[in-house]
Amino acid sequence: MDLTLLYRGPLSSCDYDCPYCPFAKRRDTPELLRADRAALERFADWAEEQTGDQLSVLFTPWGEGLVRSWYRRTLVRLSRLPHIRRVAIQTNLSCRTDWLADADLDTLALWCTYHPGQTPYERFLATCRDLAARGVRFSVGVVGLPDHLEHAARLRAALPERVYLWINAAEGHTYTDAEAARWTALDPLFPYSRHPHRSAGLPCRTGESVVSVDGDGTVRRCHFVRAELGSLYDGSFRAALGPRACPLAVCDCHIGYVHLETLPLYDVFAGGVLERIPAGWPGHSDADLGGGGIPLPLIGVNRGQDHGRTGRQGTGDGTNEE
């Protein structure tokens, strides 16, 4: 079986204070952190044993995972397993990066978000440049709030051209055509994130080749549909896998709508779905490290309607690493 798993454990603490995030500066109790660590280790043990499958894993914690040692160890561990195609995590990039030296960088990737006002710009940029120098696959994103535009433009100009900069439409924000054009100049795929996607009754890969897993091992088709498919750990979810239509009216988060079969995003992000790197981007292939212009073929892609969530990974300075 070729299966993608979106894992979200009980961790919900973050080291940043983003005003658009309900988990800003939230602290987990020691008991919850121990539970999160145990749940993650159980999931990693399960993944290691599935040698008959080909697995891809994206960690989507409510809080910031990489300031916790058990997330860093798990990413390294899974990256070195031959049946893991890709392992990635959403992160604010506030952690140190030396741990990446132990990972298989052909398998590991990072989905990074820059939150202006939460971390010094030069610090974030220096960490991005460190990742690039290490040969890490990563994308960088910014929430498309009006006062973030200047910061995003500055970051796009400073990042290596091989690094894709994505823009998430801000939750509850409506964009005029002129505003959308400014964001699209930075991210040619922003039109996919401008409005929610109508999804009711439409085919989606979630529940068939993509599933969501929580810390208890409960399997659902995605993070946004609460119906349970079974348990990861007793294998009962496998019998429930199959093609199914979306039961929700709209899908407004990239980690959800990217799997809609009515959108061309598996072609747009071919080979980089989990880390959000377009197939046509100059940095998509390790053979092309010199950069290049915006991938023009992507601009003409049929632009669906969606509304990307702000992302809940937060940001920080890494002072609470464990």
Q: Report pLDDT for 286.
A: 38
Distance (Å, whole) CA 110 – CA 287: 19
**Angle 21-151-99 from CA coordinates, rounded to 5°:** 70
Q: Report pLDDT for 63.
A: 87
Residue with tokens 């929610």: 196
Contact 42, 7 (CB under 8 A): no
Distance (Å, whole) CA 183 – CA 117: 19
The half-sphere exposure of 205 on its side-chain side, counting CA atoms within 13 A, is 20
Per-residue pLDDT, averaged over 109-136, amounts to 93
Q: Report pLDDT for 309.
A: 36
Q: Report pLDDT for 294.
A: 40
Per-residue pLDDT, averaged over 195-203, amounts to 97
What digits encode the pLDDT tens for the residues 47-84? 999 999 999 999 999 889 999 999 999 999 999 999 99
Q: Report pLDDT for 280.
A: 77
Reported as type and span, the H/E element at residue 282 is none
Q: Report pLDDT for 298.
A: 46
What digits encode the pLDDT tens for the residues 147-191? 999 999 999 999 999 999 999 999 889 999 999 999 999 999 999
Alpha helices in the chain (DSSP H): 30-49, 69-79, 121-134, 149-158, 177-186, 254-257, 265-268, 296-299
Distance (Å, whole) CA 37 – CA 128: 27
Q: Answer yes or no: is pLDDT of 14 > 90.
A: no
Bigger pLDDT: 321 or 170?
A: 170
Distance (Å, whole) CA 15 – CA 12: 10
Mean of per-residue pLDDT scores for the chain: 87
Q: Which two tokens stand for residue 195?
A: 């409005």
Selection from 275, 279, 253 nearest residue 266 by Cα:
279
Q: Answer yes or no: is pLDDT of 295 > 90.
A: no
| Residue 320 pLDDT grade (very low, low, confident, very high; cuts 50, 70, 90) | very low
| Residue 268 CB neighbour total at 10 angstroms | 21
Distance (Å, whole) CA 174 – CA 134: 38
Size (the chain), residues: 322
Distance (Å, whole) CA 304 – CA 267: 14
Selection from 213, 278, 224 nearest residue 251 by Cα:
224
Contact 294, 43 (CB under 8 A): no
Q: Report pLDDT for 282.
A: 66
Contact 233, 42 (CB under 8 A): yes
